[in-house]
Structure 1
Amino acid sequence: MDAADLVTFRELEELKYRYTRALDHKDWELFASCFTDDATAVYGTRLEFTGPAEIVAYMRENLGTNMITLHQVHHPEFTVDGDTATGTWSLMDRVIMTDYRFLLDGASTYQDRYQRGADGVWRIAHTGYERIYEQMVSFDDVPSFNLTANKWA
């Protein structure tokens, strides 16, 4: 591995970190900027999207301020071939559904494809994950649960 590979790996890491940060902070403009114009996404067996507008619209509509999310990605593995790359990531996520009084936790494995544009910037051409597990619990089942901070409340 040479220095150029290390720079590329770091750029791909920063892209995925930006993607999760934008999603969790509901920064839809930044989130959209992470994708190529023809990006696709498949999240588990339930959600499939074509184009960044469709991906962003769904997230904006369904992950509003009543859904506090935390997506943590780690353990990246990359394969780079010129201006294209693939990546595998581990994901741990939590969703606090304030209106529904539920906590959701899950673990997944992301499989991504990346494209470096003419501007030299890497973007996500495809993202998707397969769930390892997902579990939900009602706030009512955790009597000590107390949400003490909420950016959107």
Structure 2
Amino acid sequence: MWSMDDVEAIKLLKYRYLRALDTKDWEVFEGTLTEDVTGDYGSSLAFTNRGELVDFMRTSVGPAVITEHRVDHPEIDVEGDEATGRWYLQDRVMVPDFKFMLFGAAFYSDRYRKTDAGWRICATGYDRTYEAKLSLDDLPSFALDVGPAIRI
């Protein structure tokens, strides 16, 4: 039997996963995942364990890459110690050194497992609904200040 507490705990887990990703808090990010987590972010980006996924994010989304991930409209189904979740994602990626910005939307599909340490993500990935890219040269007034929440 599941409770609303399980659903709320899964929501908080997903929010923590995204906050840790955007602030580059890799220890917290790693703590949201099971060791055997799988990740599927499209045809060329897949992972079969936590080490691979965290290492990729740590090296690919480093200090020079600013990200913003927002999810809402969760659809969470809990069955015992397993759960599934679907989320609407809006994201933005900025790489000022390359004068690049991407923004888009997708639907996350996650699986969760209840562990001794609480709920953890055991599979995650998304299917894009759109992705738009632009050069920051097209925005001559663009200026970026990075706040202290980003771990550099």
Fold similarity call, TM over 0.5: yes
Aligned equivalent of 1:50, options 48, 66, 70? 48
Query: Alignment length, in residue pairs?
Result: 149
Amino acid at match of 2:50: P
Secondary structure of the corresponding residue to residue 56 of structure 2: helix
- Matched residue, 1:150: 146
Whole-angstrom distance in 2 between the partners of 1:43 and 1:19: 15
1:68-79 to structure 2, matched below 5 A, reads 68-79=66-77
SS of corresponding position for 1:99:
helix
Instruction: Please tell me the residue identity of whatever aligns with 1:124.
Output: I
- Which residue is equivalent to 2:101? 103
The amino acid across from 2:19 in the alignment is R
Q: Deviations over 1:102-148 (max 9, x none)?
A: 1110100000000001x15000000000011111110111122122x
In the alignment, the residues of structure 1 paired with residue 101 and residue 121 of structure 2 have an alpha-carbon distance, to the nearest angstrom, of: 29
Q: Percent identity?
A: 48
What are the superposed Cα offsets for residues 41-85 of structure 1, whole Å, 9 maximum, x if unpaired? 001222100111100000000001110000001110011100000
| Structure 1 position 137 matched with structure 2 position 134 | yes
* Bigger RCO of structures 1 and 2 (CA < 8 A, at least 6 apart): 2
Q: CA RMSD of the aligned region, Å?
A: 1.5
Deviation track 1:90-110 (CA, whole Å, cap 9, x = no partner) reads: 000001111111111010000
Q: What code does the residue aligned with 1:23 have?
A: L
Separation in 1, partners of 2:49, 2:91? 23
Provide the rounded CA distance (Å) in 2 between the counterparts of 1:94 and 1:74.
Answer: 15
Q: Contact 2:96 / 2:136 at 8 angstroms: preserved in 1?
A: no
Cα distance in 1, alignment partners of residues 68 and 21 from structure 2:
9
Which residue in 2 is equivalent to 1:121? Answer: 118
Letter of the structure 1 residue corresponding to residue 68 of structure 2: L
Tell me by how many angstroms 1:5 deviates.
2.1
TM-score, normalised by the number of residues in structure 2: 0.93
Counterpart position of 1:13: 11
Q: Which runs of 5+ in 1 are unaligned?
A: none
Task: Output the TM-score relative to the length of structure 1.
Answer: 0.93
**Segments of 4+ moved more than 6 angstroms:** none
Q: Distance in 1 between matches of 2:135 and 2:80?
A: 48
